Amino acid sequence: MMSSFAKPMTDGTARATRRPTRRKARGHVSGLGLLMMAPALIMLLAFFFTPVALTGVFAFTDLSTSTGIGRGTFVITPTDLRQLRDRGLTEDEALAISAATYSVDDAGLAAARAAGADAAFVDQIAERLTGESYEDQRDFERVLRDLPAAPRSPRAIKSAAEAFGQSVLNRRHETRDALAAQLDATAPDLSDAVRDMVLDASYTGAVFTTENFTRLATQPETGRLIANTALYVGATLSVFNVGLGLFLAIVLFYMPKPVTGFFSTVWLLPRITPVVLYTIMWKWFTWEDGFLPILAEQVGLPSFNYMKGSVVTAWMTMISVNGFIGASFGLILFSGALRAIPVQQLWASEVDGATRLQQVRRIILPQMRWPILFVTAYQTLSLLSSYEQIWLTTNGGPGKTTTVWALEAFKTALSNYSGNLEYGMGAAMALILVVVGLALSIIYLMIFKFGELVSRPKIEF
């Protein structure tokens, strides 16, 4: 007699009963789970998406130290006129804009008194010349010199004359219309196109523009930065981060555990050492009085500052400094992945007479695709955005021969000798790095066939 709960079901009935249950389990969203994930989502929004969004916005502005982040004013400077000559401003137009007039009025008299001019001299100017205007400073000085109370010193007369000078240059105007009115009075023969070009260039605040990307696409400096970055990332990634890390992991995999633990700890030192201390150690190692130059001198090789003495040694030093840090990272991940390989596979291969090299080629490397993909993708993004070790060692030198994209973006936005920090240009360069990183990640996923890596295994245990 068969019990009711042990009654067999047909195959179709069983599948019909199981499928709705599976769909319901997949579609269930736990409120507690969302609550537990909320802090992580907030942190992700605050410290990743918001900076990326702001970088995208700033990339399309000319925000800099000179513009500030507040509302700007309108000022025409001699520097503006020099730069506008590259955009078609003629010499005569620049002279017309920068021309000064000398008008005797209350403002000029007050400025002359403030400049220390003799009171009797200023009173005589007010009495005899109020309302007069002069277009040339020499003519005005000649008139002042003829006054009975004029000082004998030519410098005093010149100083008094300059107090009455009025020029559109270096005078701050709150609105565009105010500057336009003075510009029309100073240089009335300017065409509307030139006048608008000067007014646009005079604005001291930040504006939305695509000029940053145009400048990056046209300047010769961009090609050198791309070549340096490609060399730095490619050499560091292939030689150290993946190549040396994987080689060390495989070698240590076949060594006894005590030896493996010791060498793994030693190779972690570059990663756990503070960056500043790590770079100082490299300076002690490569500078003129360091270990390497002294050793080279003893064996008859050229002895000099290997970190900055030549382009070739600077590149080798810069790649090695970053490479040993990346190799330790790869060693950790690859060692963990190697321990996950079923040891029975290695035993079976040994029974079949396989050598160590054949085990590596036929068993280990095919199962290391996912760790290699992860290290390659992660370290590529890390190297693209890294500049700390380069900044602290070669600082992009000699000259700019080892300057990479990330270091140039950092200097442009946050640290340069001119003092005018170009936040907009730095953000544009950072945004390009983000786009390049995303594109490379997609390419890596396609090359390593990410879909096959995360698909259900073809062998079920």
What value does the mean pLDDT take over residues 154-159?
Answer: 85
pTM over 0.75: no
Q: Which residues of 148-181 are buried (b: 16+ CB within 10 A; e: fewer)?
A: eebbeeeebbeebbbbbebebeeeebeeeeebbe
Signed CA dihedral, 111, 113, 115, 121: sign only:
positive
b/e for 86-113, b at 16 or more Cβ within 10 A?
Answer: eeebeeebbebbbebbbbbbeebbebbb
Whether 162 shows a pLDDT value over 50: the answer reads: yes
Q: Rounded distance, CA 335 to CA 257, Å?
A: 12
The pLDDT, as a whole number, for residue 216 is 93
Q: What is the pLDDT of residue 32?
A: 82
pLDDT digits (tens, 9 = 90+) for 346-398: 899 989 888 999 999 999 998 898 889 889 988 998 999 889 999 999 999 88
**Per-residue model confidence as pLDDT tens digits over 429-444:** 999 998 998 898 888 8
- Residue 80, pLDDT score: 84
DSSP 8-state assignment for residue 48: I
Q: What is the mean pLDDT of the chain?
A: 84
| pLDDT for 17 beyond 50 | no
DSSP states of 216-249 as a string? HHH-THHHHHHHHHHHHHHHIIIIIIIIIHHHHH
Q: Is residue 18 scored above 70 in pLDDT?
A: no
- Residue 117: predicted pLDDT: 86
Helix (H) or strand (E) holding 100: strand 100-103
Find which of 159-163, 182-186, 330-334 is predicted with most confidence, using mean pLDDT. 330-334
Query: What number is the average pLDDT over the span 13-18?
Result: 47
Q: How much is the pLDDT for 218? A: 92
Q: Is the model's pLDDT at 461 over the cut of 50?
A: no
The predicted pLDDT at position 212 comes to 92
pLDDT band, residue 238 (cuts 50/70/90): very high
Q: What confidence tens digit (pLDDT) does each residue in 69-125 have?
A: 777 888 888 888 888 888 888 888 888 888 777 888 888 888 888 888 888 888 888
- What pLDDT score does 140 carry? 86
Neighbours of 234 (CB within 10 A): 13
Tens of pLDDT, residues 49-72: 888 888 899 999 988 887 777 778
189 vs 26, which has greater pLDDT? 189
pLDDT score for 35: 85
Q: How far is CA 114 from CA 125, 190, 308, in A?
A: 15, 34, 55
Q: Is a pLDDT exceeding 80 seen at residue 196?
A: yes
pLDDT at 457: 55
The kind and range of the H/E element at 19 are: helix 11-27
pLDDT at 425: 93
pLDDT, tens digit, 9 for 90 and up, residues 298-326: 888 888 999 988 999 999 999 999 999 99
